[in-house]
Amino acid sequence: MDRSAAVSRVLFHVLFLNLAVALAKIVLGLVSGAVSVLSDGLHSLTDGASNVVALVGVKMARQPPDADHPYGHRKFETMASVAILLFLLLVLVQVLMAAVERLPSPSAPAITAASFAVMGATFCVNLWVVWYERREGRRLSSEVLLADAHHTRSDLFTSATVIAALVGVKLGIPILDPAAAIIVAGFIGYACWGIFTETTGILADEIVIAADDIKAVVQGIPEVVGCHHIRSRGSADHVFVDLHIWMNPAMRLDEAHRLSHVVKDRIMAHFPQVKDAVIHIEPPPPA
């Protein structure tokens, strides 16, 4: 199974679990009248929606390079992560509006033992999903899986907050219900920021591999006098590198060309995530 197919398989598994969790919370929120539980359910529902968006992005990212996309379609997966961010922002606004509306005159929702059972079960499911997605995201070097795990991880904090609020409501403090919804919004905002910083780094061509690490590999080749102008960009598993290497001016052109391929092969062998490396040959500076 190739990488993209493996990422899709993980997303299908997680999609089923996220939809089940969201449905359970939304039904509980509607039946009990707890705005915090309903907000948490809407938050969980975006997990399923983001899974669908991610599946579309991964499918597009599998397409090979073509005339219009010579670097491939890998950034479509990153763009899917941005779509997850947009879903989160939408839910953030909805949760805040519902919580602020309820704050002035909070009413006690109907909290039963079944409420705690449902919230506890969904918490355990989310805990497993986060562990599973993060493990597979690191193994497959997939930023969309890691972003989605980051999204789902916020559900753990929100669910814990909601459970604590339900305990407070049960003890006769109804204002904890809308207050918990506002805390849920805070966790959602934090998840938004995490995904934003991860995806913008890729889309803005932030450095992926430290220049000194590449330099150490290149200067391990005896014929190379030195190197500079080292740049890298892309995602964690799909990196492009370009650099200038210094060679003896007396070296024949065909020999210099052969050596540039040695440098490229050495870089790609040392950093398997590098998909291509462009080597510029030049004489060393006068100094």
Q: How far is CA 229 from the centre of its chain?
A: 30
Residue-wise pLDDT tens digits, 221-259: 988 999 999 999 988 778 999 999 999 988 898 999 999
Sign of CA dihedral 185, 186, 192, 194: negative
Rg (C-alpha) for the chain, rounded Å, is 25
Residue-wise pLDDT tens digits, 148-199: 787 778 778 778 888 888 888 888 888 887 888 888 788 778 878 877 888 8
| 117, amino acid identity | A
What are the boundaries of each domain within the chain? 3-203, 211-282
pTM greater than the 0.85 cutoff: no
How far is CA 55 from each of CA 23, 122, 127, 251, 278, rounded to the nearest angstrom?
21, 23, 21, 51, 32
Topology of domain 3-203 in CATH is Alpha-lytic protease prodomain-like (1.20.1510)
30 close to 45: Cβ distance less than 8 angstroms:
no
Termini Cα distance of the chain? 52
| Alpha helices (H) in 62-102, listed in sequence order | 75-102
Given this structure, which CATH class describes domain 211-282? alpha beta
